[in-house]
């Protein structure tokens, strides 16, 4: 999808350099993916101790090994 945005040049340049992206578009995509990943992890962490997610000890131990 094509879209038009006003992104500060210095911010985009730094994003490309730090991410190692091959293009400005890829830097924006990587940034969006990371934001989504972070927000999903925050949401998952908010369920801790709520009983919404129930894992047995064996499953938890196996997950920690990864």
Ramachandran bin of 62, using left for φ above 0, alpha for ψ from -120 to 50, beta for the remaining angles:
alpha
Instruction: Dig out the tokens for 36 from the structure.
Output: 């989504």
Q: What is the C-alpha to C-alpha distance for residues 28 and 37, in angstroms, rounded to an integer?
A: 14
User: pTM above the 0.85 mark?
Assistant: no
Q: Is residue 28 part of a domain?
A: yes
Residue-wise pLDDT for 39-63, tens only, equals 998 888 887 777 777 777 888 788 8
Q: How many domains does the chain have?
A: 1
Query: Is residue 13 a part of any domain in this protein?
Result: yes
Neighbours of 27 (CB within 10 A): 22
pLDDT-above-70 percentage for the chain = 95
Mean pLDDT score, 23-50: 91
- Cβ neighbors of 63 (< 8 A, separation 6 or more) are 55
16: containing domain? 9-65
């Amino acid at each position: 999808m094509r879209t038009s945005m006003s992104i500060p040049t210095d911010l985009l340049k730094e994003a490309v350099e730090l991410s190692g992206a091959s293009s400005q578009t890829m830097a924006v995509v990587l940034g969006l993916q990371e934001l989504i990943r972070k927000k999903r992890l925050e949401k998952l962490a908010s369920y801790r101790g709520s009983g919404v997610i129930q894992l047995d000890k064996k499953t938890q131990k196996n997950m920690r090994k990864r």
